[in-house]
Amino acid sequence: MKKTDKKSPGKLSKNLKSKKTGFSIGYLLLFLVVLYIIQMFMSPKAGEISYSQFRTYLSEGKIIDCSVGEKIIRGHYDSTSSGKNKPVAFVTVPVQDLELVNELEAKNVEFKGEVENNFLRNMLMWWIFPFAIIGIAWFFISKKIGGMGNPFMSFGKAKIKLYSEEDAQKTTFADVAGCDEAKEELQEIIAFLKYPQKFQKLGGKIPKGVLLVGPPGTGKTLLARAVAGESGVPFFSIIGSDFVEMFVGMGAARVRDMFEQAKKKAPCIVFIDELDSVGRQRGAGVGGGHDEREQTLNQLLAEMDGFSSNSGVIIIAATNRPDVLDTALLRPGRFDRHITIDRPDLVGREAILKVHAKGVKVEPNGNLNTIAKRTPGFSGADLANVINEAALLAARRDKKFVEMEELEESLERVIAGPERKSRVISDAEKSIVAYHESGHTLVAAMLPNTDPVHKVSIIARGAAALGYTLQLPTEDKYLTKESEILDTLCVLLAGRAAEEIVFNELSTGAQNDLERITKLARNYVCKFGMSKTLGPQTFGRQQENVFLGHDLVQEKEFSEKTAIEIDSEVSRIIKESYAKAKSLIEENRDKLDLLAKKLEEVEVLEADQILELLNLKEEENEKSKKENLVAEKEIRQS
């Protein structure tokens, strides 16, 4: 209540001020209009008569008085003959008449000359009134459009936002998980701002810039919001694209304005999101060195480490494209620290799931560690989506808690897309899909260097998949062995091989498999240098210039003869893997039929059911127990 009472007088005075401003402007406009009308009609109304009528009245002696000007004659004439007892005003346009003055004197008419130069009326009519109307219109238009952030009405003003400490949705480091090293680096920056003497007494200087680098969805912007919540110093935020507009020089002006605002609040933090939109490498665009974006970048470089001192202003920027940034922007003295925020490991994923599950009613026995094991390669945003999808599914089913069933189903929705149960396929196509997925499952279970099959389904998911085989690794992997690549090729080709063995005919269902196979086999030869024929070398270099679509083309660094050898080697690897997959399926045809028939019947098979059908359950259970013990030991040690 006290907080509300303190704020209310300020709000009331602000409202009264705005009302007072509107009141004074409205009455000023009304006064000018009235003044203009008075000046236009200050003379009495006069009826216009022709000059010949005027001469007739003059010859009859009815003209009482008049004033003669170069362009107009005004006066009064006697109208007693028409039944009116008072003089009538008239106005007429004169012609060249040299005898007019003599006749006026002869009739004893009182006349005078008129100088047609009413300064006040002309001033009001041609200057004050038009400019007043333009000024008032400009005021209202600029107030309306400028408030919407129109760049035309806000030249050179940076669209920078000052973070409010009273923000209800305050984010702290407690809301960030899975990137402990990055949090530690940023906490040091905050400590430097709060207690600078602790570092300065040892001769340390405050860093000028911190660059957060990482794939999309790993929490770069979330970390920046946490810095805002933890810092206790003014925190400004702006998006890189807000600097550059269609007007020349506006980007550089906005950079200057941003730093001017920041200096007034120093010590403070400025966060620039999507830095790559303004910090791309110079000299590679269409406009050369005079490009507007490059002028903006030049100004940013000068402000961060130029002759002017920006002591106390720390720039934090985020990007997922560090490869396109200008080298001058990345050097020490500008962005002193580069913090990489990668996809989280097993421990990090579990911590992230717990953070996002705080506001969700998850059943007490819900095992988030199991979900973390099944989500290698997931980013923080992906994990947040898994929890949210599970909550939506539980709400749709009118459950009081989110159970493991919803968590696992949401995981599949994120990986493969939502189920499309409405898609009805014929029995013949259903059988083809069942054998195709059973081929993947069987070969994956038989080969030692593949990820275990978690689930296989012939229910359509996503845009085009009629079925899917879900393989999930048991641990995080940062290296891939040659044997794992070759076994993966066999698994990918097993679906097509099963179709050929069973139906003696191929379908288009293996299209996506073939695309992945070709890419993986070519990387095996050209990137990883694993080919025994061509030896340990790479072929084809990605061009460094990432502009104008050049990143879509690889530079050819080998002869035509080598190209033929590469194609031959890729073809050999694929054919050998296909032959191996066919051999495994032919040797275990009974197991393939068993899997396919069961799939046609129930449509979905879990890992335990698959192992039981293939008589591999006991062996797999022993293997999984050992892996779980190792994983638990690693978690305790970490």
Which positions are annotated as active-site residues?
437
**SS3 per residue for 313-326:** EEEEEEECCHHHEC
Instruction: Please name which of 383, 345, 354 lies closest in space to residue 175, comparing C-alpha atoms.
Output: 354
Cβ atoms 585, 442 nearer than 8 A: yes
**Residues whose CB is less than 8 angstroms from the CB of residue 163 and which lie 6 or more positions away in sequence, other chains included:** 228, 234, 235, 236, 237
**Residue listed under structure tokens 């493969």:** 416
Cβ atoms 87, 77 nearer than 8 A: yes
H helix count then E strand count, the chain: 22, 16
Rg (C-alpha) for the chain, rounded Å, is 42
Instruction: Please name which of 114, 37, 131 lies closest in space to residue 69, comparing C-alpha atoms.
Output: 114
State the Cα–Cα distance between residues 473 and 480, nearest whole angstrom.
12
State the Cα–Cα distance between residues 142 and 153, nearest whole angstrom.
6
Q: Inter-axis angle of helices 346-356 and 380-396, to 10 degrees?
A: 40
Cβ atoms 31, 25 nearer than 8 A: no
Strands (E), 450-567: 453-457, 468-471, 541-542, 554-555
Question: Could you give the C-alpha distances from 35 to 31, 129, 138, 337, in angstroms and in order?
Answer: 6, 9, 22, 67
State the Cα–Cα distance between residues 90 and 108, nearest whole angstrom.
18
Phi, psi for 315 (deg, rounded to 5): -100, 125
The three-class DSSP label of residue 537 is coil
The three-class DSSP label of residue 377 is coil
Q: Which two tokens stand for residue 386?
A: 């898994």
Question: Could you give the C-alpha distances from 420 to 407, 412, 561, in angstroms and in order?
Answer: 19, 13, 48
State the Cα–Cα distance between residues 555 and 449, nearest whole angstrom.
34
The three-class DSSP label of residue 402 is strand
Q: Which residues is 77 bridged to in the sheet?
A: 63, 88
State the Cα–Cα distance between residues 568 and 549, nearest whole angstrom.
29
**Residue listed under structure tokens 């051999």:** 583
Question: Could you give the C-alpha distances from 256 to 159, 173, 317, 332, 503, in angstroms and in order?
Answer: 12, 31, 17, 21, 71
Cα–chain-centroid distance for residue 496?
Answer: 41
**Residues whose CB is less than 8 angstroms from the CB of residue 108 and which lie 6 or more positions away in sequence, other chains included:** none
Q: In angstroms, how far is the first alpha carbon of the chain from the final one?
A: 47
Q: Which two tokens stand for residue 536?
A: 């340990």
Cβ atoms 510, 436 nearer than 8 A: yes
